Amino acid sequence: MLSILRLTLQRLGLGVLVLFVVSLIIFLGVELLPGDLCQAIQGQSATESTVAACRKDLGLDQSAPTRYVHWLQGIVKGDFGKSLANGRQISELISVRLQNTFFLAIVAAVIAVPLSLTLGILAALYRNSWFDRTINVFTLSSISFPEFFVAYILILVFSVKLGWFPSLSDVSPDTPFFERLYKVFLPALTLTLVVMAHMMRMTRAAIINLMASPYIEMAKFKGLSRGRIILHHALPNAWAPIVNVVALNLAYLIVGVVIVEVVFVYPGLGQLIVDSVQKRDIPVVQACSIIFAATYVVLNLTADILSIATNPRLLHPR
């Protein structure tokens, strides 16, 4: 038990370190700008005095380390500074959108994870059957499809032809829960299709890998059924790789969400970052990047820790 705790603490420490370095990169990236932020905003029309005023306004007259410390302190308190485009508080812009994005990602995960685990186990169970082959071709293709292709096909079928679901997911903070669920169904389905393939293949591979080990053969000789062998003998040992790949794919959802939100005009963080990149609204892009990156790091960390925690071998150190 002690070794698990020690490993977990080690990973947590490493995670904090990574988060710190990531924030440093996101901050320093902007320092790479030729000239500085103010010259970049004002472009051709910049004069000495307007640039100086702008620098003072944004606090650029201070040294970089001081600004970094201030920026980081602000983020910890939930204050990301002001948007360059409209001067509004970034935290205000972000809060509702962040909830929307998490809502979408969670709905997608709730559909995708159980579905892909079940299908993966079934594919391992009926290995090399037509079912397995169909799933194999299907997953290989869905990995190769761009997200927006999947999204537009779903819109064409479910929204335009059948008229079952709306093609625009315009939710507002006071949309009731079930209507919200109805409106995010298509984006969530798109994300599900995109992340499912990988999880399913890994589940299948992890179980098939284990099926060759001697203790499974022993279980077969005892005369147990295939289903029982997989569920009670193979699965417990397969948890580590499966849990790992699930967490990694949830991290991937964070990236996929950007494109899907743009297709469905869903008011989330992804759309905000794309809009801000177009306007070159650097503070907003920085704020969104750090949120996305932090979520990604935390999910990867969870993957790491869970695969340590679910590894039965670590429970009984020699």
Partner 1 sequence: MNTNISPKVQPLDASQIPAARPSKFKLALRELWRAPLSAKFGILVVCGYIFIAIFAPWLTHYGESEIVGGPFEEWGKKFLLGTDNLGRDMFTRLLYGARNTIGIAFVTTCLAFLIGGISGILAAILGGWPDQIMSRVVDILMAIPSLIFSLLLLTIFGTSIPVLVIIIAVLDSTRVFRLARAVSLNVVVMDYVEAARLRGEGLAWITLREVLPNIMPPLVAEFGLRFCFVFLTIAALSFLGLGIQPPTADWGSMVRDNATLISYGDITPLLPAGAIALLTVGVNFIVDWFLHKTSGLKDGQ
Residues at the site binding partner 1, with contacts judged by CB under 8 A: 18, 21-22, 25-26, 29-30, 32-33, 127-128, 132, 137, 140-141, 143-149, 152-153, 155-156, 159-161, 167, 205, 208, 251, 254-255, 258-259, 262-263, 273-274, 276-278, 280, 282, 285-286, 288-289, 292-293, 296-297, 300
The nearest distance, CB 196 to partner 1, in angstroms, is 16
The nearest distance, CB 43 to partner 1, in angstroms, is 11
Indicate the residue among 230 and 282 with the shorter CB distance to partner 1: 282
Three-class secondary structure of residue 198 per DSSP: helix
Neighbours of 300 (CB within 10 A): 18
Bridge partners of residue 82, in order along the sequence? 89
Residue 11 gets the label, from left (phi > 0), alpha (psi -120 to 50) or beta, of alpha
Neighbours of 142 (CB within 10 A): 16
The nearest distance, CB 299 to partner 1, in angstroms, is 10
Indicate the residue among 237 and 276 with the shorter CB distance to partner 1: 276
Place of tokens 């205000």: 92
Indicate the residue among 276 and 307 with the shorter CB distance to partner 1: 276
Separation of alpha carbons 228 and 138, rounded Å = 27
Indicate the residue among 289 and 307 with the shorter CB distance to partner 1: 289
The nearest distance, CB 258 to partner 1, in angstroms, is 6
- DSSP 8-state assignment for residue 101: H
Indicate the residue among 18 and 115 with the shorter CB distance to partner 1: 18
Token duo for residue 110: 């709730």
Indicate the residue among 240 and 258 with the shorter CB distance to partner 1: 258
The nearest distance, CB 247 to partner 1, in angstroms, is 14
Number of helical H runs and strand E runs in the chain:
15, 0
User: Angle at which helices 235-263 and 147-154 pack, to 10 degrees?
Assistant: 70
Bridge partners of residue 89, in order along the sequence? 82
* CB-based contact 261:104 (threshold 8 Å): yes
Indicate the residue among 136 and 175 with the shorter CB distance to partner 1: 136
Indicate the residue among 118 and 141 with the shorter CB distance to partner 1: 141
The nearest distance, CB 314 to partner 1, in angstroms, is 23
The nearest distance, CB 179 to partner 1, in angstroms, is 21
Q: Give the list of residues 6+ apart from residue 61 with CB closer than 8 angstroms, or none.
A: 55
* CB-based contact 82:88 (threshold 8 Å): yes
The nearest distance, CB 166 to partner 1, in angstroms, is 11
User: Angle at which helices 64-76 and 2-31 pack, to 10 degrees?
Assistant: 130
Question: What's the chain's length in residues?
Answer: 318
